[in-house]
Each structure stands twice: as C-alpha cells, then as structure tokens.
A and B are shown apart, each in its own frame.
Chain A
Amino acid sequence: MLAADRRELGAIFAGGAIGASLRTGLVEAAPTHTGHWPWLTFAVNIAGSLLLGYLVTRLQERLPITAYRRPLLGTGLCGALTTFSTFQLELLRLLDHGDDALALGYAAASLAAGIAGLALGTALVRRANLTW
C-alpha cells in the first residue's frame, strides 16, 4: 500500500528504538513520584524539541539532500524521545492529587520551554552571522 522506501522505514524504526530506549531507561532510573514535578518528561521533551528544531532546520536548509537522516533523527529519535501521552497522563495525575497549581505550571512551562527550545534550535542554524 505504501510506496515508502524500506530503508527509510528502517531509519525511523532505528531512531525510534533509540529515543524510546533512552527515555524509558531514564524513567526507570528516575521515576516521577506522586505530587512532584515530572522532571524527566519535562527534560526529554524540552531537549527533544531543541534537538528537533536544530536538526530539521539544518537538514532541510543547510545540507544537501539525504534520504535517511531526517527519518532517523527527526521522526525517529526526537519523535520517540519526546512524548505527548505521558505528558497528558502526568497532568491528569497531578490534578487527581489536587495539585492544580503544579499541573497548570507544568503544562505552561512545558509548552513555553518547548516552543522556546524549538525556536532556539532553529535560530542556531539560521543565526544572523554566517561566516562560520
């Protein structure tokens, strides 16, 4: 059905495996406790957004066309390193626990830092002074 390149799909799978393993490993090592700020998810989401902004911009605007780098690093690694579902579940659990302020803060900070990270990654590629 899909006319996608098998190697491209393989690149997505590989990147996804790496990103997911990293995140899962970290979560197992440092799980979030009830009523606390979900540091790990926050960290991977922001880091992943920064990385994606940088990689996607660099790969699309500054480098020659390559087949597998973006599927591997963008869709795969960054896509799997970051998570939306866990973020939402954490918001739900915070509210369950009565930590309304924390939930609100966590949502707002994740979004603000996420966008800022993405923008920063992008700006690092496009920066004004391009002699280096």
Chain B
Amino acid sequence: MVTVLLVVVCGGAGALARFLLDALIQERRLNEFPLGTFVVNLSGAFLLGLLVGVGSSHRTMTILGTATLGSYTTFSTWMLETHRPAQDGEPVLAWLNIVLGLAAGFAAVTLGRALGRL
C-alpha cells in the first residue's frame, strides 16, 4: 500500500522536476534545439543506469526507476520536439534531436550502470 502511495507521489514529482528543469534551461534563449528535454532525458537515463548498476531491489527499482525516473523522462515530448521542426521545414533539427537523443541516451544509461558497478 505504501508502495502505491510512493508511486503516485514520485510519479507526480518526476513530472514536476522535468518541467522545472526544462523551464530553467529553455528560459532565456529561443534555442532551436530542445535542450531542456534533452538534458532531462539524458540525466534520467544516466540515473536509471546507476540504480541498476548499484544493484537496487525490485521495490527500489519500481519506485525510483519505473515511477520516478520513468515519469521524469519523456518519450512523447521527444517525439513532439522532433515532429514540429520536421513539419516546419527544419529537418536537420529533427534528425539531430532523434539521433543525438537515441545515441546520447544510450551512452548515458550505459555509463550510469558502469559507474554504479564500480
């Protein structure tokens, strides 16, 4: 039961943290590249790798990994911020977002796990 409550609260907190960090990063510039979401997703992937690397329990993985980091990171916003530039005639930006996101995200989760295992 406590787990359920923690999932709910951590889920909400994860989304909130994503919004705040994204806003902070995107604030001053009309960054054509969606840096905010990029940083959020990368940090989330890294932290998830770390959690796995240090050997977390199933319960920890559920609360911190699935609920919190799963909510903190986002796939849908990544897609939105790829689709819009593609549609507006900026395909380079779209490709960059997809490729960098995939590659850097994978690198982040790998690195996180490696560090966790140290």
Known: A21-B7, A79-B71, A107-B102. A85 touches B41 (CB 8 A): yes
Minimal Cβ-Cβ distance residue in B for A22: B11
Contacts of A38 in B (CB 8 A): none
Query: For this complex, into which size category does the number of interface residues on chain B fall?
Result: 35 or more
Contacts of B62 in A (CB 8 A): 24, 27-28
**How many Å lie between the Cα of A4 and that of B20 in the bound state?**
9
Q: Which of A20-75 contact B (CB under 8 A)?
A: 20-21, 23-25, 27-28, 45, 48-49, 51-53, 56, 71, 75
Contacts of A111 in B (CB 8 A): 98, 102
Known: A45-B75, A45-B76, A118-B79. A79 touches B67 (CB 8 A): no
Q: Is the CB of B113 within 8 A of A56?
A: no
Contacts of B49 in A (CB 8 A): 88-89, 92
A52's partner among B13, B41, B73, B77 (CB-CB below 8 A) is B77
Does more than half of chain B's interface fall in helix, strand or loop, or is it mixed?
A: helix
From residue B42, how far is it (CB to closest CB) to chain A in Å? 9
Q: Is the CB of A53 within 8 A of B80?
A: yes
Q: Is the CB of A92 within 8 A of B12?
A: no
- Mark each residue of chain B from 44 to 88: 1 if its CB lies under 8 Å from any CB of chain A, else 0: 110111001000000000100111111111111111101100110
State the total of A-B contacts with C-beta under 8 angstroms.
185
Contacts of B68 in A (CB 8 A): 20
From residue B81, how far is it (CB to closest CB) to chain A in Å? 10
**How many Å lie between the Cα of A84 and that of B43 in the bound state?**
10
B79's partner among A19, A23, A117 (CB-CB below 8 A) is A117
Chain A interface residue count, Cβ-Cβ cutoff 8 angstroms:
51
From residue B58, how far is it (CB to closest CB) to chain A in Å? 10
A75's partner among B19, B41, B106 (CB-CB below 8 A) is B19
Q: Is the CB of A85 within 8 A of B70?
A: yes
Q: Which of B76-118 contact A (CB under 8 A)?
A: 76-80, 82-83, 86-87, 98, 101-102, 105-106, 108-110, 113
**How many Å lie between the Cα of A107 and that of B99 in the bound state?**
11
**How many Å lie between the Cα of A49 and that of B79 in the bound state?**
7
